[in-house]
Structures are given as structure tokens and as C-alpha cells.
Amino acid sequence: MEEKREKLKKLLGISEESQEPLLEFALQDAEETVKNYCNLEEIPKGLEHTVMRMAMDLYRNEQFGDSTVPMAVKSISEGDTSTSFGTIESSGYAQTLLKNYQKQLNRYRKVGF
């Protein structure tokens, strides 16, 4: 896992060691997602780069280690200027991530009973 983490660190251009636990979590999460979707015990060689790209996307989009909740503009009113904010739902990102890589993953997917 350390070798994969170092590769991910280089691909993302990260030099701080403080990010290593977050990178490892992103890698483990990507691997778990692939294994669960494809019904596999191990990641095949043909999916190693896909897992790495998924981990990169997870790290960039999920903002691991950031305790603040991302906010988005919920509504804007012009008369007397009013803007309200709401939280961004990140739970849907995992499904989007899976859709982005579904074509590659389907080649390795096994039927589960």
C-alpha cells in the first residue's frame, strides 16, 4: 500500500507527509468501491490505473481533512439583496464517480449471487 500511496502522492503533486493518511484513505476507498462493484477479492492488474484515477478524483473532490462543510448558493433575491446558502451534498459524488469509470469496471465485473 505504501508504494501505491507514494505514487498517488506524486501524481497529485503533494509533498507534505501530513496528507499521507488522507491519501491512504482515498486509495482504500477507491479499491473497496471497485471490489464491491465488480464482486472481486483482489484488484486485477488491468484496473490498477483506474483505481489510481478514482483515488485522485476522490481526494480532489471529497476534501478529506477539511472540517468545514462546503456551501453553495441556494437562492438569490434582488430586491433588497438577499442570498441564502445551503450545504453541498457530497454523498452523490460516489455514484457519479462510479458512473465515470463504469465502462472500465464492467469489463471485470463478475455476477454475484
What gap in Å lies between CA 38 and CA 14, rounded to an integer? 30
The CATH number of domain 2-106 is 1.10.3230: yes
Q: What is the pLDDT of residue 81?
A: 77
By CB neighbour count within 10 A (0-12 exposed, 13-18 middle, 19+ buried), where does 61 fall?
Answer: middle
Distance (Å) of CA 97 to CA 24, 50, 68, 81, 113: 18, 11, 22, 37, 24
Model confidence over 53-96: pLDDT tens digits? Answer: 999 999 988 876 654 555 566 677 777 777 776 655 555 566 77
Specify the higher pLDDT residue, 40 or 83. Answer: 40
Q: What are the domain boundaries of the chain?
A: 2-106
Q: How many CB atoms sit inside 10 A of residue 26's CB?
A: 25
